[in-house]
Amino acid sequence: MNSQSGETMGKVEAILDAASTLFAKKGFDQTAVSEIASLAGVANGTVIYHFKSKENLLYVMSWFTLNSLHRRTRMEVAGASCGLEGVDLYIRAFFGYLEDQPNQLLIYLQNSTTGGRHADPLLLSNLVALRTRYLEMLTEVVREGLADESIAPLEAGVPDDVARGIQSLLFGAAWMVLCHHEKRESLLREALATAYMRLAAEARCPGS
């Protein structure tokens, strides 16, 4: 990497760090581009040059957040001995990320309030595709649980519907922790209990 490329990356990282701090502290709508630029130590035009708009900046940050969560969850779920344990690990990975990266997850949740009105269509499509992959990971472990019989036959819906319901529960819990100061540990226990109830599953894998 030459010095010019390194300088450019340094500015981009500074902008992302500044936006992360301000979005988490003040909210997306209340943060001006000029404030991001000032905290990052760059000119206003530098923010626009690299990201085109504040909305694009939010979507880039949201993609990085979800990608990090997806990778962390995939690594955790890979160690599951059965589908039921995979669901358990998926939920625990989410709450672990919530504990370690609360600001990033808060910014991701704020993204849902913008509606993507001014964001680049490619950024939107990339984020939607990543959201789909994150959901599909959970759907797949539910299917594995049905196949290995660690999860009882579903009566309340197909695996896709059950996975979507569990994921909605997780993001709702994150909102309660980050915006209403609910206890993370309590909501983790509730999420696990609800998931087991929806899956009509015993808290063990076959042969354990």
pLDDT in tens, 49-107: 999 999 999 999 999 999 999 999 999 999 999 999 999 999 999 999 999 999 999 98
pLDDT at residue 116 tops 80: no
Chain length of the chain: 208
- Residues 113 and 66: their CA atoms lie apart, in Å, by 16
- Residues 149 and 113: their CA atoms lie apart, in Å, by 39
pLDDT of residue 72: 97
pLDDT at residue 3 tops 80: no
Among residues 189, 198, 193, which one has the least CA distance to residue 151? 198
pTM attached to this predicted model: 0.89
pLDDT of residue 133: 97
147 or 110, which is more confident: 147
Mean pLDDT of the chain: 90
Q: What are phi and psi of 204, to 5 degrees?
A: -160, 165
pLDDT of residue 174: 97
Which segment of 111-125, 141-155, 171-185 scores lowest on mean pLDDT? 111-125
CB neighbours (10 Å) of residue 27? 13
pLDDT of residue 49: 95
Angle at 201 between CA 196 and CA 205, to 5 degrees: 110
Confidence of residue 111 (pLDDT cuts 50, 70, 90): confident
118 and 48 in contact (C-beta within 8 Å)? no
pLDDT of residue 86: 97
Spell out the domains of the chain, with CATH numbers in brackets.
1-51 (1.10.10.60), 54-199 (1.10.357.10)
- Residues 64 and 127: their CA atoms lie apart, in Å, by 9
Confidence of residue 113 (pLDDT cuts 50, 70, 90): low
- Residues 53 and 65: their CA atoms lie apart, in Å, by 19
Residue type, 18: A
pLDDT at residue 30 tops 70: yes
pLDDT of residue 157: 66
- Residues 208 and 195: their CA atoms lie apart, in Å, by 20
pLDDT of residue 198: 86
Confidence of residue 8 (pLDDT cuts 50, 70, 90): confident
pLDDT of residue 70: 98
pLDDT at residue 15 tops 80: yes
pLDDT tens for residues 186-197? 999 999 999 998
